[in-house]
Structure 1
Amino acid sequence: MPEQRDPSPYDALLLLSFGGPEGPDDVVPFLENVTRGRGIPRERLKEVGQHYFLFDGVSPINAQNRELLDALRSDFAAHGLDLPVYWGNRNWAPYLTDTLRTMVQDGHRRIAVLATSAYASYSGCRQYRENLADALAALRAEGLPVPQVDKLRHYFNHPGFLRPMIDGVLASLAALPQEVRDGAHLAFTTHSIPTAAADTSGTPGDHTEGGEGGAYVAQHLDAARTIADAVRAETGVEHPWRLVYQSRSGAPHIPWLEPDICDHLEERHAAGVPAVVMAPIGFVSDHMEVKYDLDTEATAKAAELGLPVARSATVGADPRFAAAVRDLLLERAATERGGTPERCALGALGASHDLCPVGCCPARAPRPAAAGADWRGPAAEAPV
């Protein structure tokens, strides 16, 4: 129906991602961008960047974003959706400000934004919104028109995000030796964050105390449970599972979400589990934190233990994910026009909010953040 292909009031979509180095000379400058303001010495960044150098200094993330960009454009064209798609990164080229500058120079004034982070947290949502605010302020300082940007809702429980991962877990189970397959444990992995940041993730009503994890943990648990239930329905086997964490990068004295995947593999092996499927549900694509932390480090730990493991795929540029982005865009467009579209979601939590409320995933130091209820425009000096 024509209504289903109407993206108005939006005139463009921005794919907003993290970015990554594309050669050895990029690694330290990239890490300087990521850690700016933290006072980390350059020599320490060289140490941190060693896992990039194992892959010739190239993170897979930019190539994977190009694939997703192509998938989105193909999906839009195939469904009669006449909307240009641009791509910008927070920490490496193409930089967000440069992309937004191109977009406004191309005449775009109402932009929908898809962040390559599916869950609520400061680093996974509000920090992207802060970067948007910084970029819009830069455009205004240059005397350029400042577009309205709207970030699409969290999609951790959208069918187009979960169903490819369900198939990935099923494929990983099938790849295990038959004698250990039915007893395999499912380890759903995501990025560890400080427990304090986890507790304040999501809307103020989602906030918790004592390391319970707020919306960040609740959303991951809901996604994991939905996948595990679907695997049971497909195979007839009840696989035990747990949400575990990876990629910790903070100071040792600061509590972060646990258990770490490598510790978890040791614990499961000691408990007699015959095999483990590692399912990176916290990541949109197989970027460095999947390729190194799971495919290299955790897989080496499993080999040391003699524990059979398989790692399931992320959604990447799966056509179903591209279709989900189209659905999220058209859903938000219809809402902005005053409609009440169906909001697709699996699991128990329902569809997430469109507009981040005041107090959602707060920063330690208040900074302007676009595309939320606390945004007063690029001239604002601080959020309300």
Structure 2
Amino acid sequence: MAADAAAGTVDALLLLSFGGPERPDDVMPFLENVTRGRGVPPQRLAEVAQHYLHFGGVSPINALNLDIIKAIESEFASRGIDLPVYFGNRNWHPMVEDTVARMAADGVRSALVFPTSAWGGYSGCLQYDEDIARARAAFGGNAPDLVKLRQYFDHPLLVEAFAAAIRAAVDSLPAERRDGARLVFTAHSIPVSADISAGPPADGGRLYSRQVAEAARLCAVATGFTDYDVVWQSRSGPPQIPWLDPDIVDHLEDLSGKGVDAVVVCPVGFVSDHLEVIWDLDNEAGEKAEELGMAFARAATPGTDPRFAQLVVELIDEHMAGKSPRRLGDIPGYGCTVNGAACAIDCCTPPRRPAAAT
């Protein structure tokens, strides 16, 4: 495959992700990268570090991304697509700046970028544009052209992968509790102020939470659930700042109070098993469910499903051939960006906050 990416040929694919530590000594430097410029107090970083150290200081995300890359390469080979796949991260090695430099050294002049986030909003979309722009600026004027592929939260293959995982989770529950199990979707919470898009008024704002709700609806429909919940996890801000809620652990207590004795939790907001998925769901939520006497099953994330690699290839083919996007939902989802330029409609920039009183 060698076709038009923005204005030239495509020489490679870059999988761009968040990053994670791979040994105990990496944990604090990684967390400092994640929170740089946000004023997070050291004691909060120390608390979060314990989550990583509980698992030996290793996040599963890099290994899972390498598995995704192998699956993409296998899918490329089966379709006769000749594109090398590179891997870069925002917050830990391989850093995207180093990867872009290596791509240039290998002769890559133009590449497509697949972000491991399906969403709009600042953290899910615009921050990846910033990563691309920063990496190109660090290399200089001869950096490869980089075109980030579109948001894919409602792509049929993503929904199918989640639906298969939900069905498997239901089947893992005790047989006598399956029929009454409550389906609960989770995604990473963000400050309420960050969920208000500065994009077109016609979109109604709150792009991220609306996309999460739409993905949950599509997955519920695909699995035959007519009733379900959308809740949040992994909040990390000071208590006086409103974040999207309810939190998954609080919600389990509420469900238990209503007589629910079995839950299936689907981390619809995550492509892979970030440490936050393992800690917040498998540990904290799982322990709370056990304390409440609830049967608990957590659906797998879709990155290990063969359909996920097929989704990546489909997005590439869609972009290269100028095909109409394959989408199941009705909530806005936006397209490609070039060389880290923000989307022209500015859909993912949070509104400017008023200056603090002095």
Report the TM-score, using the length of structure 2 for normalisation: 0.91
Q: Hey, which bits of structure 1, 4+ residues long, moved more than 6 A?
A: none
- Aligned position for 2:228: 241
Question: Are 1:158 and 2:155 an aligned pair?
Answer: yes
Q: Secondary structure at the match of 2:303?
A: coil
Residue number in structure 2 paired with 1:69: 69
Map residues 151-230 of structure 1 onto 2, 5 A cutoff: 151-200=148-197, 205-208=202-205, 214-230=206-222
Whether 1:10 and 2:10 are equivalent positions in the alignment is: yes
Which residue does 1:348 correspond to in 2?
330
- Asked if 1 retains the 8 angstrom alpha-carbon contact of 2:120 and 2:334, the reply is no
CA distance in 2, matches of 1:353, 1:86: 21
| Whole-angstrom CA distance in 1 between matches of 2:226 and 2:259 | 14
Contact 1:120 1:202 in 2 (8 A): no
Larger CA deviation: 171-180 vs 186-195: 171-180
Residues 169-206 of structure 1, C-alpha deviations (whole Å, 9 max, x = no match): 01111111122111111100000001111121765542
Q: 2:257 aligns with which of 252, 270, 294?
A: 270
Q: 1:313 to 1:203 in 2, by over 3 A?
A: farther
CA distance in 2, matches of 1:40, 1:196: 18
Q: Could you tell me which residue of structure 1 aligns to residue 340 of structure 2?
A: none
Partners of 2:86 and 2:139 in 1: how far apart? 17
Distance in 2 (CA, whole Å) between partners of 1:80 and 1:151 is 22
Deviation at 1:317, TM superposition (A): 2.9
SS in 1 for 2:321: helix
Question: Residue 185 of structure 1 contacts residue 239 of structure 1 at CA under 8 Å; is this kept in 2?
Answer: no
- Consecutive unaligned residues of structure 1, counting only runs of 5 or more, are 209-213, 233-237, 336-340, 367-384
2: CA distance between counterparts of 1:63 and 1:254?
34
Computed over aligned residues only, the root mean square deviation of the Cα atoms, in angstroms, reads 1.8
Distance 2:204 2:90 in 1: 26
Distance (whole Å) between structure 1 residues aligned to residue 190 and residue 198 of structure 2: 10
1:284 to 258, 262, 271: 271
Deviation at 1:222, TM superposition (A): 1.2
Match of 1:27 in 2: 27
Give distance in 2, aligned partners of 1:350 and 1:45: 35
Aligned AA (2:187): T
- Alpha-carbon spacing, 1:201–1:164, altered in 2? closer, same or farther (3 Å): farther
| Structure 2 letter corresponding to 1:222 | E
Q: Which runs of 5+ in 2 are unaligned?
A: 338-342, 354-358
The answer for the alignment partner of 1:374 in structure 2 is none
Say which of 302, 307, 313 aligns to 2:300.
313
* 1:321 CA drift (Å): 0.8
TM-score, normalised by the number of residues in structure 1: 0.85
CA distance in 2, matches of 1:183, 1:287: 29
Deviates more, 1:353-362 or 1:183-192: 353-362
SS of structure 1 residue aligned to 2:223 = helix
Q: How many residues align structurally?
A: 344
Aligned counterparts, 1:31-70, within 5 A: 31-70=31-70
Given residue 162 of structure 1, which amino acid in structure 2 is its aligned partner?
Answer: V
Tell me whether 7-16 or 155-164 shows the greater mean CA deviation: 7-16
The structure-2 alpha-carbon separation of the partners of 1:221 and 1:365, relative to structure 1 and needing over 3 Å to count, comes to closer
